[in-house]
Every structure is written in structure tokens, then in C-alpha cells.
Amino acid sequence: MTEQLQRAKELYTQFLGHFLDMHKAGFLKEYKSFEIPREQEIEWLNEMALAYAGQLSIRDWDAINALEALSRNYQDSWIVERVSSFASRNMMSADSLVRLIYTEKLVGIIGSHKQVISKELLFGACKVAVQILENVISQPMVIDPGHELKELGLKDKRALNSRAEQSLEQVKVLIN
């Protein structure tokens, strides 16, 4: 890989392919000077998405946050499959905050990919989201050490339930 191509990839991956963020940080002109073809950018987006999908964890939100951000620029059905599959396998063992955050991110990812995924995948991913959100609402609030309600702008179980209900409404909009 040439030095210019390497620098372009560094910039592109640092900002997850978001040109507005590159512009705000003052790097867009430099990146544009490399004249990278869209096919190359899509390849980099796919590499990043694969890497973040492999890093999904209930202990670390960086990967799910990055996948949600990437989903604004890059849509591929496997991202929805991977995230919803991870959520269905792992979220019931997580605390209430993790379940809420992951499901909010899943709903955001589904929304970004709605135009490129099959109805079957849309309904399946939404079903996973609804099950987790209903679980958050119906079960007592459990918070693991290190997680704070205030970090997420929440005060109590009522506020947690309210956010979960907002996400349920977003799912209804996605399905209709």
C-alpha cells in the first residue's frame, strides 16, 4: 500500500467515513486530495464493519456505537443479521442499561438499513429488539457495577422504561 493510500485510509477510518466530521476536524481537503475511488471507500467501510462486528461485547459499547455510526454511510444486510444475532444471544444476561443501549443502537442500525434488508430480516431484527425492550420494561432494574444511570441521562426505573417505550415506538414506525 502506498504511503498516500495508507494516509487516506487512516483518515477515512479515523472518521468512520464521515466527511462532515473530517471537515469539522480540518482533514477533508487533505483526504479529498488523494482522490480515492468510491469502490475503495466501500471496501474500507466493509473492513471496518467486519472488525467492529467481531468486537461486539456486552462489556464494551464502542463496537456497537461504531457500527451504528458506520451504518449511516454503509448499509449491508449482514450488519443487521450480526448485531441482532448477537443481541438475541447475549442481551438477556446483561444488565438493564446494557440491554437498553444495545437495543437502541440495534433499532438505529435497523432504521439505517431498512431499504436494503429483506422483510424477513426486518421483522426478525425488530422482534429481537421488541423482546429485549419488553424485558427491560417488565423486569426489575439491574445495574452492574461501573454503570451509572446519570451517564445516560436517566434518574430511575421510570426514566429507563420511558426510553425503552420510545424505542418500542421507533420499532413500530420501522415495521409500518
Confidence (pLDDT) at 144: 82
- The mean per-residue pLDDT over the stretch 34-54 comes to 96
Number of H helices, E strands in the chain: 9, 0
| 146: pLDDT strictly greater than 80 | no
Calpha distance 7→5 (Å, rounded): 5
Handedness of CA 99, 102, 106, 112 (dihedral sign): positive
CB 67 within 8 A of CB 79: yes
pTM above 0.85, yes or no: yes
CB 154 within 8 A of CB 98: no
With CA atoms as reference, report the closest residue to 174 among 108, 99, 82: 108
**Which amino acid appears at position 103 of this protein?**
T
| 143: pLDDT strictly greater than 90 | no
